Chain A
Amino acid sequence: MAPPDSAPLSHEPPFVRSKWRFLPAILIFVAITGAAAFFIVRAGKAVKPQRVLIAIDVGGYWWNGSAAAATVSDRLAARLSKLGFDVVKGGDPEASKILEKSKSLREAADQLHAGFLIEAKIVPEIIKHDVGGGYVELRVDSKVTLTYAGEAPKEVGHIVSFSGAAELKEARKLIADSVSDQAMDAVIAPMVQHPAIVEITSKRATNESALLAPAVEWVDRRDKIMKKTMESYDAARAKRVESEKGNPRPTFLSAPSAHDELAGVGPKGFLASTNDIRPFFFPETEQMGWLVQLEAVEWRKVDAAVAAGSAGELQWKGYNIFGYPSSQGDRAVLVEDLFGLAKTITVVDAAGAKPRRIKFDPEHRFIDPKLSPGGKFVATWDRSCPSCAGDLLVLAADTGAVVFQANRENGGFGSFAWLDDHRLVFVHTTSGDDADAKLFPRPKPKVEPGKDGKDAKNGKNGIDAQKAKPTADELTGGSTLDPEEQPKLPAVSVWTLDCAASPASAAVLAEPIEVPPLVGVETLAVQPGGKLVVFGSGRSKLTSLDMTTGTFGEIAIEGFARWPAFSPDGKLIVFEQRNDYVDNEIALVPTAGGKTLKLTLNEANDRLPTFSSDGRFVLYETIEEDPNFPKTHNLSWVASIPVPTP
């Protein structure tokens, strides 16, 4: 029995382990694991700024099976990857599945965690040429857009290119290199300068910033080189303006980096044939080069404020124009070189009209086509081989029918020009070979019948009219002399061809005008009205020829003259004044004779002057060395100088 005062023994309840004792630890573990999983999943789903999806459609996307798009994608991806971007790999089966199933490219980009989406839809203009068994030309002018996640698409550049091949598929593949280069050029700076990328690259010593450092350096390098390149054109122009010592100074109607040729003048202004290049920093080699731009034949106003560098009224566009075009009124004519496979004479009836190829030849070369006033005929040199001298060819501009064709045989043709809308004047130099005479089937002279039918007057060739009654042909003069009856050709002669004689295909040659010895008859120009012709033969005088009397004259000048041109009123002649081979100036002399006025004074090669259609300006071409590609490319500017008032 326990003592009454003692407290009963306390018994601690037996220790019972709670089955929930691990619950707090488990809950904490689950919470930590859950949080970690949440952040991992979120990080996995998050868009990565440096990740890029390339979606360039070239006849479809690569995941649809377009080989050309695949080439573009791979090449662009390789370049961007080299600079540190994480590109969605073209050809990756997982990416392909996502791209095939997604409703939009942006949805696909989000699923692929791509921050940037590069898009372009390359829809080439397809031109089929019936040459060499079939040839396809592609021309591309497409915009490139760049979209960052959550933002609107931005147009960042244009892709302009062309290619040609025997088949469309091959032509598409050929264009891929240029497309990928230009796409890279368009997108890289906007990507590198995007705030999301700047945020990465501005952090030092992180893996991500180190990865993208090459991209930043590349853009920086390119921008510096491009800036220097473009500034050099402006500097070349400024230097050139400064070096012009003439008064007034000429106004340059072409952009500083242009290659414009002066093809003609008209009421619309001047006809420019453009052959521009676009300086380009090639990603593969990191060297400056150029991209050939689409060539154009366009009318530009002579007004300096409008003309310089701006696009004119387009007459024709394409690639590989051969030589100088010419125009009369709305109609223009040019020669196209179809990828070396053929040359064509192409007529464009008006700005925006569909070009017509009126003559096509896989071997011959057509040089310097000239439209007659009114545009009904085209006269051109026709060379049967690259080094051959030219024959003379005249075609009907509407149909391409041959109006006159004369092979040079052993002699040679000199310059030609249109006297009026149907008469062509040209120069021929004979070798003395009898064969040359056969070139020009001269008509039999007309026989005038006597009043009594008995005393017919002799023609020039002494037909005995008394011996036989004249035939109808002899009466009309409609037949040509037999080859044996052809008189010997003068050593050098000026001929006039009448293309409007009936029938149209049988153009008629008038009697030639013999050129006296030592008279130069090169680079001729026709005075409006067609009565006077002048020749600039590189001598210290211009040779004139009165077409009605056949009389030669001289107009004294300073220096040596080539390429004369008459003012619209015929009172002035402008010409290339040569002092040496390199430095040509432009000079002016009255048709009636008088003092030679030098219009330009510089160290450049000014050439091919002409008057504007209103006679107020002299337009000419001037050549400059391209400061960025000095040995391989020249600049060519059209310039104007106001005609001095007397």
Chain B
Amino acid sequence: MSERILFHGLAAQRLRTRAQWGGIILLTTVLMPYDVIGDVPQWIFGLLAELHPAAIAAAFAPTAAGITLLVARKTTKRASTLAFVVLATLLAMSLLVRIGADASAWETLKLPDTIARRTVPAILAMALAGAGANLSFQEHTRKASQVVLGVALVLILGFYLWPAHGESPAGAVVRLARAIPDLPGRFAVGMLFIVLFVLFPLFAVLGATVHALVPAKRDQSIAGLIAQLGLPLLLALLVYRGLITGSAGAGVLVTLATAAFLAAALMLVTASTELLVDEYVGKDDELELPKGLPRNRAAIVTFASAVVIVIVQAALARPPKKGVEWKLHAPTPNEEKLYSEGFPAWNRARRAWGEKLGEAGSAEEMVELKATNHAMKEMAKGLDPKLESAIAALADEGDELDVAGRKFDRLIMDVNDAARAASVPFYVDPSVQLAETKNGLLRTFRITTYRIEKVHPVKIDGAEFAALQVKTLGGYGGHGGLLGFSRDAQPFALVLLDEIDATVRDWQKSIDDGEPACVEGFFGLSSPALEHCGKLLETLGKNGDLKEALTTMTERHELQHQVDGPHLTTSPLVDRHMVGYAEDAIERTNRELSAYLAEMTSAAPPKLGLVHTLPFALLSSGGAEHHVAVILLSAMTGREVPRASDRHRDLDELEQAFEELSAMSDDELRKKAAETWKKAFGGTLAEVKSP
């Protein structure tokens, strides 16, 4: 038996063994919690009814991958075929998860977002480094090993140096390392651990690339093993730490599973790469290959299958088209009673019960909730049958809500869908808040009911949307809250007329009092720009209907949110301004920037948008609206967008920017806003047309 046959056989056997154990590990991921919220595990089988089909596919992707590997291990004759199956399966799995998952239990480590969200290149680099190190052992694969190690090095350097959200992982590491001396003892140790953890892939790959110059002395080199198993072992250390400190919980379980999963993926990719490189570099007639699918054909078949699966997932992941047509009839007394009394009473009872659940007893609140359930169902009798049925479902299932609120959203959406179909002029908005309390995780489920005064259907780039102009019921409106809002799960933009009324009332009062002000209250800041803002407001009030203008502007703002959806690419302006900020904050600012720029292109006087944003720029020091105001004022006047971390903000610059913009005409401003939007996000701002 030649040496080549021997080592090829060993590689093949290694691949089959890893496919077996890797398949088992992937198969058992179905037993892991789908999501962990506040250390409370969420199991997939309890969430199936609430998940999008693409999310279900993503949830079961690792299990399906495991089954595929186990079947392939048994059925494939050639190891190369198995290797292609392994690579294609892992690729398809990661893409399915990326496209479809709305939650992942894997992200339980508190890593910087710039790193945590882009782990695939690092994992691939480590796997290739392991393969490359092992391939350096045999002479005929030595050159190829250098190529593989080179690719690994490029990948890992690219991972660390390529910026995401304005900062590269290397930059993030430097920033974290700089913070260590300022931290107290155990926090410094914890941060050091995170820094070393983040740098481990680099060390592992660099260690392996030594074998580009010095061949490994064994088939499975130490550097190769470190590259494959080092990171999983580090994760396992966290598990051990959790167990000995008594903080074992769902998060620890998930970390253990992550470690196992990572080890399986790394070792499978390494083994597959080794085998394929060995076969491609060597001559087939030197090997005693069994009869089976030729290599290239196997590659085409497996990757083509993966592509098909990914395409299907992408199609599945598209949000379902929901109708936006909403005709309104005059509300009947029963409908009025249900939405103004029944739902708010249910809301109060549900919240009271939810808040008390963690304590010794919440029977009183449950009895009250049951009474309001019953009352709501009684009020719904005689209404449209589907609406009645949806309300009955909400009443009956309202105490079985999952932690993340998926079921809650679905139940409320069903109510809204039924109302829309029956032309009932009311709308219900759901929200879920999570908070940690001394009694554990507290979930607060809320609904707010609105009367729909007007439905404004629009077409944006050929797609149908609608804005609902509403008034809040149940006594919750008109208290200086948001002027409008929009949720990705619903195709409607909401404009809150009572909040608009309250805002315009305050403005008008300040105008009537002779002290027009863009913002109420005394802030101890003497600012010519704020004074000018007040005068601008007064002029706008004299020249037009402030309420109508604010309504138009708010509608355009919220419709832009609908158009953008959850996948709006992050503007480089935002990246620059918000370096080091959490992903959520960046995303929120990004979306608000798009909407605030869009609202300034509407039929309403764009200077109203300036009136709205200037106070946020000058008087706040944080929050999405503040960041948007700073970026908007800077970008629209061609100024460099400052970094949010720079504490010494130049307020004068912002004031001057405001003066420049307020001197422009309405058309000039609209044009400037559209141009800025294009600069920020690329492409052209969508045009809103009424049908």
Q: Is A89 in contact with chain B by the CB < 8 A criterion?
A: yes
B356 / chain A contacts, CB cutoff of 8 Å: 91
Q: Is A73 in contact with chain B by the CB < 8 A criterion?
A: yes
Q: Is B371 in contact with chain A by the CB < 8 A criterion?
A: yes
A70 CA / B364 CA spacing, docked (Å) = 5
B361 / chain A contacts, CB cutoff of 8 Å: 73-75, 77-78, 87, 89-91
A residues 81-112 with Cβ under 8 Å of B? 81-82, 87, 89-93, 96
A93 CA / B356 CA spacing, docked (Å) = 12
A89 CA / B353 CA spacing, docked (Å) = 12
B357 / chain A contacts, CB cutoff of 8 Å: 89, 91-92
A73 CA / B368 CA spacing, docked (Å) = 14
CB distance from B27 to the nearest CB of A (A): 15
Q: Is B3 in contact with chain A by the CB < 8 A criterion?
A: no
Do the beta carbons of A62 and B368 come within 8 Å of each other?
Answer: no
Do the beta carbons of A91 and B363 come within 8 Å of each other?
Answer: yes
Q: Is B10 in contact with chain A by the CB < 8 A criterion?
A: no
Do the beta carbons of A89 and B360 come within 8 Å of each other?
Answer: yes
A residues 63-77 with Cβ under 8 Å of B? 63, 65-67, 69-71, 73-75, 77
Per a CB cutoff under 8 Å, which of A70, A87, A92 touches B367? A70
Q: Is B102 in contact with chain A by the CB < 8 A criterion?
A: no
A246 CA / B363 CA spacing, docked (Å) = 61
CB distance from A277 to the nearest CB of B (A): 29
How does the 8 Å CB contact mask read for B112-152 relative to A, with 1 for contact and 0 for none? Answer: 00000000000000000000000000000000000000000
Do the beta carbons of A65 and B363 come within 8 Å of each other?
Answer: no
Q: Which partner residue on chain B sits nearest A91 by CB separation?
A: B362
Do the beta carbons of A93 and B399 come within 8 Å of each other?
Answer: yes
A69 / chain B contacts, CB cutoff of 8 Å: 363
Q: Is B650 in contact with chain A by the CB < 8 A criterion?
A: no
A63 CA / B363 CA spacing, docked (Å) = 8
Do the beta carbons of A65 and B353 come within 8 Å of each other?
Answer: no
Q: Is B513 in contact with chain A by the CB < 8 A criterion?
A: no
Do the beta carbons of B360 and A74 come within 8 Å of each other?
Answer: yes
Q: Which partner residue on chain A sits nearest B366 by CB separation?
A: A91
Do the beta carbons of A90 and B362 come within 8 Å of each other?
Answer: yes
How does the 8 Å CB contact mask read for B342-382 relative to A, with 1 for contact and 0 for none? Answer: 00000000000100110111111111101100000000000
Instruction: Check A74/B363 contact, CB under 8 A, given A91-B353, A93-B399, A93-B400.
Output: yes
A73 / chain B contacts, CB cutoff of 8 Å: 361, 363
CB distance from B141 to the nearest CB of A (A): 26
A78 / chain B contacts, CB cutoff of 8 Å: 359-361
How does the 8 Å CB contact mask read for A163-205 relative to B, with 1 for contact and 0 for none? Answer: 0000000000000000000000000000000000000000000
CB distance from B576 to the nearest CB of A (A): 49
- Give the most central of B356, B366, B371: most A CB within 10 Å: B366
B366 / chain A contacts, CB cutoff of 8 Å: 62-63, 70, 90-91, 93, 96
A92 / chain B contacts, CB cutoff of 8 Å: 357, 362
B residues 361-417 with Cβ under 8 Å of A? 361-368, 370-371, 399-400
Do the beta carbons of A81 and B360 come within 8 Å of each other?
Answer: yes
A74 CA / B365 CA spacing, docked (Å) = 10
- Give the most central of B353, B360, B368, B400: most A CB within 10 Å: B360
A80 CA / B359 CA spacing, docked (Å) = 12
Instruction: Check A91/B400 contact, CB under 8 A, given A74-B360, A78-B360, A81-B360.
Output: no
Do the beta carbons of A67 and B368 come within 8 Å of each other?
Answer: yes
A65 CA / B367 CA spacing, docked (Å) = 5
B residues 489-536 with Cβ under 8 Å of A? none
Do the beta carbons of B363 and A70 come within 8 Å of each other?
Answer: yes
Q: Which partner residue on chain B sits nearest A89 by CB separation?
A: B361
B360 / chain A contacts, CB cutoff of 8 Å: 74, 77-78, 80-82, 87, 89
- Give the most central of B357, B363, B365, B371: most A CB within 10 Å: B363
A66 CA / B370 CA spacing, docked (Å) = 10
How does the 8 Å CB contact mask read for A36-77 relative to B, with 1 for contact and 0 for none? Answer: 000000000000000000000000001101110111011101
Do the beta carbons of B364 and A74 come within 8 Å of each other?
Answer: yes
A571 CA / B187 CA spacing, docked (Å) = 100
A77 CA / B361 CA spacing, docked (Å) = 6
CB distance from A77 to the nearest CB of B (A): 4
A65 CA / B368 CA spacing, docked (Å) = 8
A67 CA / B367 CA spacing, docked (Å) = 6
A93 CA / B371 CA spacing, docked (Å) = 15
A80 / chain B contacts, CB cutoff of 8 Å: 360
CB distance from A521 to the nearest CB of B (A): 61
Q: Which partner residue on chain B sits nearest A75 by CB separation?
A: B361
CB distance from B477 to the nearest CB of A (A): 30
A90 / chain B contacts, CB cutoff of 8 Å: 361-364, 366
A71 / chain B contacts, CB cutoff of 8 Å: 363-364
A551 CA / B365 CA spacing, docked (Å) = 76
B370 / chain A contacts, CB cutoff of 8 Å: 65
Q: Which partner residue on chain B sits nearest A73 by CB separation?
A: B363
Q: Which partner residue on chain A sits nearest B364 by CB separation?
A: A70
B362 / chain A contacts, CB cutoff of 8 Å: 74, 89-92
A78 CA / B360 CA spacing, docked (Å) = 5
B residues 328-353 with Cβ under 8 Å of A? 353
A231 CA / B363 CA spacing, docked (Å) = 39
B368 / chain A contacts, CB cutoff of 8 Å: 67
A82 / chain B contacts, CB cutoff of 8 Å: 360
A65 CA / B373 CA spacing, docked (Å) = 11
How does the 8 Å CB contact mask read for A493-529 relative to B, with 1 for contact and 0 for none? Answer: 0000000000000000000000000000000000000
- Give the most central of A66, A77, A91, A96: most B CB within 10 Å: A91
A87 CA / B368 CA spacing, docked (Å) = 21
A74 / chain B contacts, CB cutoff of 8 Å: 360-364
A517 CA / B133 CA spacing, docked (Å) = 132
A71 CA / B367 CA spacing, docked (Å) = 10
Q: Which partner residue on chain B sits nearest A90 by CB separation?
A: B363
CB distance from B94 to the nearest CB of A (A): 30
A78 CA / B362 CA spacing, docked (Å) = 10
A602 CA / B437 CA spacing, docked (Å) = 64
B371 / chain A contacts, CB cutoff of 8 Å: 65, 67
CB distance from B153 to the nearest CB of A (A): 37
Q: Which partner residue on chain A sits nearest B398 by CB separation?
A: A93
A91 CA / B353 CA spacing, docked (Å) = 8
A390 CA / B398 CA spacing, docked (Å) = 63
How does the 8 Å CB contact mask read for A209-242 relative to B, with 1 for contact and 0 for none? Answer: 0000000000000000000000000000000000
A89 CA / B364 CA spacing, docked (Å) = 11
A77 / chain B contacts, CB cutoff of 8 Å: 360-361, 363
CB distance from A621 to the nearest CB of B (A): 46
CB distance from B356 to the nearest CB of A (A): 7
CB distance from A310 to the nearest CB of B (A): 40
A91 CA / B359 CA spacing, docked (Å) = 10
A74 CA / B364 CA spacing, docked (Å) = 7
A62 / chain B contacts, CB cutoff of 8 Å: 363-364, 366-367
A77 CA / B358 CA spacing, docked (Å) = 13
CB distance from A191 to the nearest CB of B (A): 16
A283 CA / B399 CA spacing, docked (Å) = 32
CB distance from A173 to the nearest CB of B (A): 9
CB distance from A170 to the nearest CB of B (A): 14
CB distance from A244 to the nearest CB of B (A): 52
CB distance from B196 to the nearest CB of A (A): 33
A67 CA / B363 CA spacing, docked (Å) = 8
A87 / chain B contacts, CB cutoff of 8 Å: 360-361
- Give the most central of B353, B367, B368: most A CB within 10 Å: B367
Do the beta carbons of A66 and B367 come within 8 Å of each other?
Answer: yes
Q: List 20 A-B contacts (CB under 8 A).
A: A62-B366, A63-B366, A67-B368, A69-B363, A70-B364, A70-B367, A71-B364, A73-B361, A74-B363, A77-B360, A77-B363, A78-B359, A82-B360, A90-B366, A91-B357, A91-B361, A91-B366, A92-B357, A92-B362, A93-B400
Q: Write the residues of chain A forming the contact surface with B, with a CB cutoff of 8 angstroms.
A: 62-63, 65-67, 69-71, 73-75, 77-78, 80-82, 87, 89-93, 96
Q: Write the residues of chain B forming the contact surface with A, with a CB cutoff of 8 angstroms.
A: 353, 356-357, 359-368, 370-371, 399-400
Closest 10 CB pairs of A and B: A90-B363, A91-B362, A74-B361, A70-B363, A91-B366, A77-B361, A62-B363, A90-B361, A81-B360, A70-B367
